[in-house]
Amino acid sequence: MKITHKKETTINIHNNCDLNHHFSGKKFIFADELSSSVDSFIIDWIYDKSPLHMKTGRPVAGERVMKTDEQTILTRIQPGLSPAVEPQTASIITTDSAGIIANETTIPSQGEQLPAYLARPADHNGSLPIVLVVQEIFGVHQHIQDVCRRLAKQGYMAIAPELYFRQGDPSRYNDIQQILNELVYQVPDTQVLSDLDHTANWAIKQGGDAGKLAITGFCWGGRIAWLYAAHNPQLKAAVAWYGKFTGEKTLNSPKHPVDIATELEAPVLGLYGAKDESIPLTQVDTMRQALRAANATADIIVYPDAGHAFHADYRPNYHEESARDGWQRMLAWFQKNGVA
């Protein structure tokens, strides 16, 4: 069954569902099979039958249609993802909230309220180690939120701030290049680093341990993790997942990781894929040389069978073996450097 959605799709939801985590990983029952010509469709919603408007060319991250034993047609919607992403829902990992507290919040930053997603252990005596989680170019969608919940299950206070919120919402864009041009390239590094400083300070006031601060970031956030390790002297550890080392220098991005190897304040672990066409191995070698010349405390792991975004379980380039190994290395890096 192929479903093609028009410019605006309206869904009336009213069946056995849960709104937690923006519907992440939940299943919805179609009232009827859909033809390829429909402009809208109906899903039963048990609570208030209120309409949900999706103003993108297709559902926020597409639909997954499957059959149950009763031959009921189901769809799985992964809201929060940009329509520019083609999701691969079969491999999506959904972490529940048992034993943790997970919610959206806001953080005072530079005279504004910075939206963020927070996850932390529910029962804990004393201060918590803090991990700043930095988004991909697609924003703080359900995968990044799930990463926060996974870290909370490991005993961390994990916070993912919405670092594009002043420029726009990535989930409203259908094209990656448009996201880059209208959002990513418009966000000054100084603004991002300041927002992360305010996020860290806010976390400390919420019961985080000022002496146990770490950062991890993915893709765009991987580059930011390197930069933040050269920015905040209070940082204890950083883990950068497939963040670019080099790039064009602009007013908004005057330096890249290869330029700040001598300025690193914290140990950095880099996790990269040998098949990543956007970060060729020549760039990895250049960064390694810069780190050696600076005598920096850093390590770069390259997974031979992985490409870009190999940890992103909602994307086709997810590589489970490399992602699992990288996750364990990240936790070990935090522990080794006093963030646990």
User: For 136-193, how does the pLDDT look when each residue is reduced to its tens digit (9 = 90+)?
Assistant: 999 999 999 999 999 999 999 999 999 999 999 998 888 889 999 999 999 999 999 9
Q: How many domains does the chain have?
A: 2
Report strand pairing: 63-67 vs 100-109.
unpaired
Give the whole-angstrom CA distance, residue 162 versus residue 154: 23
Catalytic option among 219, 231, 256, 311:
219
Q: Tell me, what's the pLDDT at 15?
A: 32
For 336, the token pair is: 């080794």
Please compute, for residue 210, the number of CA atoms within 13 A of its CA located in the half-sphere on the CB side: 7
Q: Is 308 a catalytic residue?
A: yes
243 and 108, same domain (yes or no): yes
Walking along the chain (340 residues) 10 residues at a time, the average pLDDT comes out as 31 32 34 33 31 30 26 30 51 93 97 98 94 97 97 99 95 88 96 99 98 99 99 99 98 98 98 98 98 98 98 95 99 98
Catalytic option among 308, 311, 313, 319:
308
Give the whole-angstrom CA distance, residue 217 versus residue 13: 34
**Is 154:331 a contact under the CB 8 Å cutoff?**
yes
Q: Tell me, what's the pLDDT at 234?
A: 98
328 and 291, same domain (yes or no): yes
Domain that holds residue 304: 91-336
Give the whole-angstrom CA distance, residue 99 versus residue 318: 27
Q: Distances in Å between the alpha carbon of 11 and those of 3, 21, 52, 142, 289?
A: 14, 18, 5, 20, 53
CA-wise closest residue to 228 among 309, 132, 301: 132
Catalytic option among 146, 189, 195, 276:
276
Helix (H) or strand (E) holding 118: strand 112-121
Q: Tell me, what's the pLDDT at 87?
A: 52
Does a structural domain hold residue 86? Answer: no
Q: Is 219 a catalytic residue?
A: yes
Q: Tell me, what's the pLDDT at 51?
A: 34
Rounded to 5°, the CA angle 182-248-236 comes to: 90
Four-CA torsion 31, 34, 40, 41, nearest 10 degrees: 10
Q: Tell me, what's the pLDDT at 124?
A: 86
110 and 233, same domain (yes or no): yes
174 and 323, same domain (yes or no): yes
140 and 38, same domain (yes or no): no
227 and 135, same domain (yes or no): yes
Q: Tell me, what's the pLDDT at 88?
A: 56
Give the whole-angstrom CA distance, residue 30 versus residue 250: 48
95 and 58, same domain (yes or no): no
53 and 194, same domain (yes or no): no
- Where among 57, 79, 101 does a domain terminate? 79
Q: Is 276 a catalytic residue?
A: yes
